[in-house]
Amino acid sequence: MQSVGFIGWRGMVGSVLIDRMRRENDFQGFEPVFFTTSQAGQAGPDVGGGASPLRDANDVRALAEMDILVSCQGGDYTKEMHPKLRAAGWRGYWIDAASALRMKEDAVIVLDPVNRKQIEQALNKGLRDFVGGNCTVSLMLMGMQGLFDAGLVEWVSSMTYQSASGAGAKNMKELVAQMGGLADAGRALAEDPASQVLELDRIISAKLNDGSLPTDAFGAPLAANLIPWIDSAMEDGRTREEWKGMVETNKILGTATPIPVDGQCVRVGAMRCHSQALTVKLTRDVPLAEVEALIAGANDWVKLVPNEKAATLAGLTPAAVSGGLDIPVGRLRKMALGGEYLTAFTVGDQLLWGAAEPVRRMLLIVLGRL
């Protein structure tokens, strides 16, 4: 029986992964072993076969006993331990949610509904490092797969509306604490029908700018605000998040000639769903009905939302999508720019298809169960 070591299973992405695996009855047919960077020896979680003691995630020999390692521990851990394991001769499968190895030549970015073929080729070639993609990239590809598969995409501009979860668990808490601070400051005036709205606005603006809201995680208020900067600066003016859009999309698709992907990545006050407003330059003027059919038929999760207000409010918002695997695509229409210019809006759960689900499915693929 194959052994699978889980590292970082208590963090946000790791918890979502373990929860999904429990719900889908995945914990069978292999031996799960839970690792910890700080609490070796303590009781691990019971995923069906009783709880076993946690093993030390810094112990290369213990890790090397595993046939497969699944890490949600983050990039620093990967950078530290992965080279040591490989240097020690470990030949197991490393399945990772962090970005550290993504662009390495012998690592595969996994999003199997989109690139199962590349995954199979890599497995056949004996590659052993499989990494989940950047969340915005994975969510965009799940939504637009039909157009990419049909060779209809000349370029994409993606303007993102990224949730707090993409920045981390602390950031989600900070967002809600900021909301609480603003609500406390404005409650009396907001609830008084006779109050002056400009007075309410003055109080909220003052609160946003007086330094009293918690901003350790984001560096600025996100509640009642937005932050048009995600990750670090690249030399050409893009942020690293914007840079990932093009390199990861093309790596996942295995394009011979790179398809340009660019846009601005913006953090907004959603909890765990990333949204994107897309401009797609089509390679030719295809009727909208054909575009809709291609998008809707590409995979089991993409859902077409009619370009109507009621349907949009009901199904094309972070709140509607949160906690689910659906990838709604709506606001779909040809633009006034010309028949080859398509616009669409798409939303997806950043922790599911954006992080844990491709990793979970890759584990099932390696185990021969998907």
Catalytic residue IDs = 135, 274
Alpha-carbon gap, residue 317 to 284, rounded angstroms: 30
Which residue has 């089991």 as its token pair? 300
Between 12 and 122, name the residue whose CB sits nearer to ligand HSE: 12
Tell me the two tokens of residue 206: 């003052």
Contact between 98 and ligand HSE by CB under 6 A: the answer reads no
In the complex, the smallest distance separating the C-beta of residue 38 from ligand HSE, rounded to whole angstroms, is 24
Among 172, 230, 332, 347, binds ligand HSE (CB under 6 A): 230
* Separation CA 305–CA 344 (nearest Å): 10
Asked if 318 is part of the footprint of ligand HSE (rule: CB under 6 A), the reply reads no
Measured between alpha carbons, how far is 340 from 155 in angstroms, rounded to an integer? Answer: 11
Q: Which residue is nearest to ligand HSE (CB)?
A: 166
Residue 144 contacts ligand HSE per CB under 6 A: no
User: Closest distance between ligand HSE and the C-beta of residue 233, in Å?
Assistant: 14
Residue type, 212: S
Q: In sequence order, what are the beta bridge partners of 158?
A: 278
Smallest separation (angstroms) from ligand HSE to the CB of 272: 10
158 touches ligand HSE by CB under 6 A: no
**What single string gives the DSSP state of each residue in 192-246?**
-TTS-HHHHHHHHHHHHHSS-S--TTTSS--TTS-B---SPBPTTS-BHHHHHHH
Q: How many residues bind ligand HSE (CB under 6 A)?
A: 7
Q: Which stretch binds ligand HSE (CB under 6 A): 36-44, 77-85, 159-167, 221-229?
A: 159-167
Burial of 271 (0-12, 13-18, 19+ CB in 10 A): middle
Measured from the CB of residue 230, what is the shortest distance to ligand HSE in angstroms?
5
The reply on whether position 162 binds ligand HSE by CB under 6 A is yes
CB of 167 to ligand HSE, least distance (A): 5
Tell me how far, at minimum, the Cβ of 313 lies from ligand HSE, in Å.
Answer: 24
Say whether residue 269 binds ligand HSE (CB under 6 A): no
| 101 contributes a contact to ligand HSE by CB under 6 A | no
CB within 8 Å of 89: residues ≥ 6 apart: 64
Residue 146 as a binder of ligand HSE (CB under 6 A): the answer is no
Rule CB under 6 A: which of 1-20 touch ligand HSE? none
Q: Does 119 bind ligand HSE (CB under 6 A)?
A: no
Residue 330 in the binding site for ligand HSE (CB under 6 A):
no
Question: How far is the C-alpha of 129 from the C-alpha of 91, rounded, in Å?
Answer: 10
Out of 112, 174, 241, 242, the residue judged to bind ligand HSE by CB under 6 A: 241
**Of 7, 63, 147, 167, the one binding ligand HSE by CB under 6 A:** 167
Q: Are 161 and 331 contacting, i.e. CB atoms less than 8 angstroms apart?
A: no
For residue 239, give both structure tokens: 């942020």
Among 134, 275, 299, 346, binds ligand HSE (CB under 6 A): 134
Residue pair 222/229 in contact (Cβ under 8 Å)? The answer is no
- Distance in angstroms (rounded) separating the CA atoms of residues 349 and 329: 13
- Long-range CB contacts (within 8 A, 24+) of 291-294: 291/147, 291/152, 291/332, 291/342, 292/332, 293/146, 294/146, 294/147, 294/149, 294/150, 294/152
357 binds ligand HSE (CB under 6 A): no
> Residue 225 has which token pair?
């605000």
Residue 174 binds ligand HSE, judged by CB under 6 A:
no
The footprint of ligand HSE (CB under 6 A) covers 134-135, 162, 166-167, 230, 241
